[in-house]
Structure 1
Amino acid sequence: MEGMNPLGAALRAWRDRLDPATAGLPHGSARRVPGLRRSELASLADISVEYVVRLEQGRVAAPSPQVCASLARALRLTGEEHAHLLRLAGHAADPRRVPRHVPDSLLRIMDELAANPLSVYDATWGLLHWNPLFAATFGDPARLGPADRNALVWQFLDAMPAPVRQTADERTAFEESLVADLRATTSRFPADPGVAALVARLERSPRFRELWGRPSVGGHESAHKVVGHPDVGDIALNSDTLTTQGGNLHLVVYTARPGTDARGKLDLLAAVGVQAVSARG
């Protein structure tokens, strides 16, 4: 029977609990049931509706930790609830693995900073969450597969979702700090197979191999770049990285570079950019 398995029952209860407005969904027609529809959860978690149905009916043996993380973000679960979801799915919450749960507290901070492009990355620089202005500025990451939503993949494997320019010195500093940050991650989470898989993938890049051969260990904190936007032209941005202590998550805040017209262009994209992104799709 539907909803009788513990995982399915928990997902249904969390889906019923979440106010669609809290999840950022527009107000629509009257709802027969509270909370999110299955189709809405599927869209927010970037999985198919059919997969949500099978999860709730207990017809999926073991959804992956990545799927669990996507569901936790979509359902706005707490850290404890995310750990419970992992256990129900057959995965013990392992402190040696890279955390990928974006807590409500970080989402609230993003809401307060919504006038700027914002993105949240895990310790391997995998993109977990972004706001509408980030998508309007850099291109919608939802068009990429989950494995390609990674700042290191964008930088070293020429998979950048938007044309971004840096001076030679800026690019060098950016790449060196990213690689040093990734090296620190390998020692913090040595048991996470995703870390080793990412390094192996990046080693297809000669530039990454060169930097990976150095002993540098550090953290990525800031960068400068110019985004070549198809609708508003060049946008000169500074980026600053705020890292959470418990989850090793990186909140990247993009701000207009002083002395440029970037602020006005961001304001324009905030007003019409989401519609423009949708139209280009």
Structure 2
Amino acid sequence: MANTGLGTALRHWRDRVSPQAAGLPAGSRRRAAGLRREELAQLAGISADYVIRLEQGRATSPSAQVVEALARALRLTHDERTHLFRLAGLAPPGPGTVPRHITPGVHRMLDRLAGTPVAVFDAAWNQLLANPLYTALMGEWHGSDLNGVRRNFLSPDSRVRDTPGSRDALQAALVADLRRTAGRYPEDRDLRALITDLRRLSTRFAELWDSGAVGHHESARKTIDHPDVGTLTLDCDVLSVAGSDLRLMVYTAEPGSEEADRLALLDVLGTQSLGVEEHPRRS
């Protein structure tokens, strides 16, 4: 049976999000102020054909991951996101699962920090959203590498310059932080699967996990070797969003410094020669 309620809601929410609000160019000859289906698909990381089938009621069982991505792309409130899950025939994530909802306020914050590299992570260090300058600075990740803990242990190729000591300290802090998250969200199956995989695939992770340390990942000063603009030493601050356990990772340079000039250059080059999408991307 066609799920017309889901399709009607998606069309309504799509129509109220302007391309400018989503970080997209408005273009010309638009028949409506809202997002096109192709633009919603791009923001949510799914195919335009699938968006069409959802709106027409021909796709009736979207996964929880797709619903979550649509909620982020449409900038839904908490109540609207809950309603979207129910329209899709899914139970909204419960209090025992890691929150992955990005509030409209956090979206607006990223809009206002367009000239600053910013990414949003959940409490399990899954990258949910990154603005174009963050992607240009740190590179673009896909699939399981969007999880920062997995990437640090299993995909060590990074633009951040590490010493053995700084890498060991970062890994210890990430494991301790992940253990704290696991205690807060014991019902999260994805989190349990992540920990199981990392213990199986990384001896270093397993040793740190078995040590029983609990803590949190803190801010630091990082040196980044960028292939196009050279070396940048930046302050990396991790800010917590009250009530949601989201983390904002923000990179900043000292005003007037050489790093500030290189970051400004990257802001110009980022969406041109570096192949970065011209909108905040889902992670």
TM-score (norm 2): 0.90
Q: Deviation of residue 228 (structure 1)?
A: 1.5
In the TM superposition, residue 19 of structure 1 has moved relative to its aligned partner by: 1.1
For 1:43 and 1:115, locate their aligned partners in 2 and report how far apart those are by CA, in whole Å.
22
Change (3 A) 1:246 1:225: same
- The residue aligned with 2:104 is 104
Does 2:31 align with 1:32?
Answer: yes
Give the structure 2 partner of residue 218 of structure 1.
215
Q: Map 1:72-87 onto structure 2 (within 5 A).
A: 72-87=71-86
Q: Which consecutive residues of structure 2, in runs of 5 or more, have no partner in the other structure?
A: 278-283
The residue aligned with 2:48 is 49
- Between the aligned partners of 1:214 and 1:256, the Cα distance in structure 2 is 36
Unaligned runs of 5+ in 1: none
Question: Once the two structures are superposed, what CA deviation does each residue of 1:146-173 show, in whole Å capped at 9, x if it has no partner?
Answer: x32111121000154x422122332222
Q: C-alpha offsets along residues 123-160 of structure 1, whole Å, 9 cap, x if unaligned?
A: 1100001111101111133xx12x32111121000154
The reply to whether residue 206 of structure 1 matches residue 203 of structure 2 is yes
* Number of residue pairs aligned between Structure 1 and Structure 2: 275
1:240·1:252 contact (CA, 8 Å) conserved in 2? yes
Alignment of structure 1 residues 96-245 onto 2, 5 Å: 96-141=96-141, 144-145=142-143, 147-158=144-155, 160=157, 162-203=158-199, 204-245=201-242
Secondary structure of the residue that 2:116 maps to in structure 1? Answer: coil
- What percent identity do the matched residue pairs reach? 49
* Cα 1:258/1:210, change in 2 over 3 Å: farther
Question: Once structures 1 and 2 are overlaid, which stretch shifts more, 215-224 or 117-126?
Answer: 215-224
In 1, Cα distance between equivalents of 2:202 and 2:231: 28
Deviates more, 1:259-268 or 1:116-125: 259-268
**Structure 2 contact 135–276 (Cα < 8 Å) conserved:** no
Distance 1:258 1:56 in 2: 47
Query: 2:195 & 2:165 partners in 1: Cα distance?
Result: 24
SS class of match (1:275)? coil
What amino acid is aligned across from residue 108 of structure 1 in structure 2? Answer: R
Residue 243 of structure 1 and its aligned partner are, at CA, apart by 1.1
1:245-260 alignment runs, 5 A limit: 245-256=242-253
Q: Secondary structure at the match of 2:22?
A: coil
Equivalent-residue separation in structure 1 for 2:43 and 2:225 (angstroms) = 28
Q: Is the 8 A contact 1:135 1:274 kept in 2?
A: no
CA distance in 1 between counterparts of 2:32 and 2:273 reads 33
